[in-house]
Chains A and B, each alone.
Chain A
Amino acid sequence: MNLAVAEHGFLSPTGAEIAFVLIGLVVLGSALLVVTTRQVVHAALWLVVTLGGLAAEYLLLTAEFIAWVQVLIYVGAVVVLLLFGLMLTKAPIGYSEPPDSAARIPAAVVALGATATLLTVIVDAFRTAYLHLGDDTVGSTEVTGQSLFKVWVLPFEVLSVLLLAALIGAIVLSRSRSRAHSGRKD
Chain B
Amino acid sequence: MNPVNYLYLSALLFTIGAAGVLLRRNAIVVFMCVELMLNACNLAFVTFGRMHDNLDGQIIAFFTMVVAACEVVVGLSIIIAIFRSRRSASVDDASLMKW
Q: Which residues from chain A sit less than 8 Å from chain B, CB to CB? A: 1, 3, 5, 13, 16-17, 20-21, 24, 27-28, 31-32, 34-35, 40, 43-44, 47, 50-51, 54, 57-58, 61-63, 65-66, 69-70, 73-74, 77-78, 81-82, 84-86, 88-89, 91, 97, 99-100, 103-104, 106-108, 110-111, 114-115, 118-119, 122-123, 126-127, 129-134, 136-137, 139, 143-144, 147-148, 151-152, 155-156, 159, 162-163, 165-167, 169-170, 173-174
Q: How far is the CB of B33 from chain A (nearest CB, A)?
A: 6
Q: Are B61 and A173 closer than 8 Å at their CB atoms?
A: no
Q: Are A89 and B80 closer than 8 Å at their CB atoms?
A: yes
Task: Name the prevailing secondary structure of the B interface residues.
Answer: helix
> How many contacts between A and B, using CB within 8 angstroms?
239
Residue of B nearest to A133 (CB): B50
For B9, list chain A residues within 8 Å (CB). Answer: 24, 27-28, 57
Pick from B36, B66, B72, B77: contact of A82, CB below 8 A. B72
